[in-house]
Amino acid sequence: MSDLYAVADFCLIPIGTGNTSVAEEVAECQRVLAQSGLTYKMHGYGTNIEGPWSKVSQAIHDCHAAVHAKGSQRIATDIRIGTRIDRQISTGEGNVGKVARVEEILAKDS
Amino acid sequence: MSDLYAVADFCLIPIGTGNTSVAEEVAECQRVLAQSGLTYKMHGYGTNIEGPWSKVSQAIHDCHAAVHAKGSQRIATDIRIGTRIDRQISTGEGNVGKVARVEEILAKDS
Amino acid sequence: MSDLYAVADFCLIPIGTGNTSVAEEVAECQRVLAQSGLTYKMHGYGTNIEGPWSKVSQAIHDCHAAVHAKGSQRIATDIRIGTRIDRQISTGEGNVGKVARVEEILAKDS
Amino acid sequence: MSDLYAVADFCLIPIGTGNTSVAEEVAECQRVLAQSGLTYKMHGYGTNIEGPWSKVSQAIHDCHAAVHAKGSQRIATDIRIGTRIDRQISTGEGNVGKVARVEEILAKDS
């Protein structure tokens, strides 16, 4: 089947590292994403990412592979992923577009 | 990179259908999964699924495609996905194995 | 505001334990839930739970507190939680009801 | 038990509205959060929020109640929520602190 355009967000957690900080592992993911060619943006509890479904999935897989290579024996990730066919999303503008539309509505409140 | 074995769970939600029931869409996903060759099991708030990462991702993508084909214009899914390199998981036994180990521990309580 | 009835599912992950197994922590959660009076059921990647929103939230909080007390310094949990006002859910029957409706649909396929 | 400090993120989805846009509902949540007294910040696929567990949970509950009051008959939310006892988190600085630590690490790369 065709590759749907996916607007997503993920939060990766290494398990069994003996270290309560996960910053090194999250930084490693950012390095992987920088190589992916996809649009992404880290926030306080995850990273927004979007692109063709197969590429988004591959990028998150490669984050797991890279974090395993750094020594984490087990990893759990939560992914939120959305697709739509009612309209075309301009590449890389799915997540920022969603925020913009909410802010437009809120701007009318005052 | 190699294809990590993924033990996962997902919950798909159609948006904008005008129907508060999502049972038809979840049923359509079960039909897609039945064709996937992967091990899966529905529960009250999602479906356990496991296999090579790329195949798990493709199966969930194909659920989106099938639910779109049934008329849902927008879909949002939450995926929990885990990988580990400390030991080999026998194909199809990741999720049941996790439950079994917890039940063994609890069995010693009484 | 009133306390909405919540049909939920959660997956708790201890961080920094130095142990790739999370079975002891999940077992501890099951003990906490057994004391909560709520309907719950473990599956391969989480636990279904339902009841008044405040009680579901308190039960998951108390799982965190109990797992911290067992030594985990940091914990991350993913919660899926749903509410509805289109119809009344019989106490404890939200998650099983959802599975039953999907199975009814699939039963007509053959 | 005591009320753990929770660093969280949530993504609320209305079901059965007959509208593929969820911007009005997300905007309504932002209005509820503005009244909550908690630190929060919207991003492309959810909203960071933190504070005492009970207050974070109540705020998300009240988002559900407000979105129901606007007409959504069913709502599903995904929550990521974390607690830690290895160190004190300054109120409202959990999520920004996490981003800052990752950025410090990445800054050393170049």
Model confidence pLDDT, tens digit, residues C37-49: 999 999 999 999 9
Are the beta carbons of A64 and A78 closer than 8 angstroms? no
pLDDT of residue D1 exceeding 70, the answer is no
Q: Which of B80, B86, B99 sits opposite C42 (nearest CB)?
A: B99
* Residue B1 pLDDT: 57
Q: Which of B9, B11, B12, B20 would you mutate first to test chain D, the one with the most D CBs within 10 A?
A: B20
Q: What is the dihedral of CA A38, A42, A46, A48, to 10 degrees?
A: -40
Q: How confident is the model at residue B110 (pLDDT cuts 50, 70, 90)?
A: confident
Are D16 and B18 within 8 A, CB to CB? yes
| Per-residue exposure over A2-17, b if at least 16 CB sit within 10 Å of its own CB, e if not | eebbbbbbbbbbbbbb
pLDDT at B42 over 60: yes
pLDDT score at A110:
78
Q: Among D4, D57, D89, pick the best mutation site for testing chain C contact (most C Cβ within 10 A).
A: D57
Nearest CB neighbour to D23, from listed A8, A86, A102: A102
Chain C residues within 8 Å of chain A (Cβ atoms): 11, 13-22, 73-74, 76, 78
Is A95 close to D45, i.e. CB distance below 8 A? yes
**Position of tokens 């437009």?**
A104
User: Exposed, middle or buried by CB within 10 Å (0-12, 13-18, 19+), for B24?
Assistant: middle
Task: Using alpha carbons, list the distances in angstroms from residue B51 to A31, A65, B37.
Answer: 26, 16, 9
CA B30 – CA B8 distance, rounded (Å): 15
Mean pLDDT of B59-70: 98
Q: In percent, how much of chain D has pLDDT > 70?
A: 99
pLDDT category at D28 given cuts 50, 70, 90 is: very high
- Report yes or no: D96 and C88 within 8 Å, Cβ to Cβ: no
Contact B78, A79 (CB under 8 A): yes
Contact B97, B89 (CB under 8 A): yes
Q: Give bridge partners of residue C5 from the DSSP assignment.
A: C52
Amino acid present at C17: T
Nearest chain C Cα distance for residue A61, angstroms = 19
Taking all residues of chain C, what is their mean pLDDT, rounded to a whole number?
Answer: 96
pLDDT at C2 exceeding the cut of 90? no
Per-residue pLDDT band for D110 (boundaries 50, 70, 90) equals confident
Q: Side chain identity at C56, as an amino acid letter?
A: V
Q: What is the pLDDT of residue C1?
A: 56
The complex scores an ipTM of 0.96
Q: What's the sign of the alpha-carbon dihedral C55, C60, C66, C68?
A: negative
pLDDT at D85: 96
Inter-chain CB proximity C78 and D80 less than 8 Å: yes
User: Closest to C48 (Cβ–Cβ): which among B45, B98, B106?
Assistant: B45
Query: What are D58-89's pLDDT values in tens digits?
Result: 999 999 999 999 999 999 999 999 999 999 99
Contacts of A95 in chain D (CB under 8 A): 43-45
C109–chain D nearest CA distance, Å = 25
Residue C36 — very low, low, confident or very high, per pLDDT cuts 50/70/90? very high
Judging contacts by C-beta atoms under 8 Å, the chain D residues touching residue C85 are: 68, 73-74
Write the residue in C20, C26, C99 that is nearest to B42 by C-beta: C99
Whether the model pTM is above 0.95 = yes
Q: What is the pLDDT of residue A2?
A: 83
Domains of chain B by residue range: 5-107
**Assigned CATH topology for domain B5-107:** Alpha-Beta Plaits (3.30.70)
pLDDT over threshold 70, residue A1: no
- B2 — pLDDT class (breaks 50, 70, 90): confident
Cβ neighbours for A12, distance < 8 A, ≥ 6 positions apart: A22, A25, A26, A29, A60, A63, A64, A67, A75, A76, A77
Q: pLDDT of C67-101, one tens digit each? A: 999 999 999 999 999 999 999 999 999 999 999 99
Q: In this structure, which amino acid lies at residue A40?
A: Y
Instruction: Yes or no: say if B7 and B85 are a contact pair by the CB < 8 Å rule.
Output: no
Considering only CB atoms, D43 lies closest to which of A27, A43, A101, namely: A43
Comparing alpha-carbon positions, the chain D residue that sits nearest to B45 is: D76
Report the gap between the CA of D1 and the closest CA in chain A (Å).
23
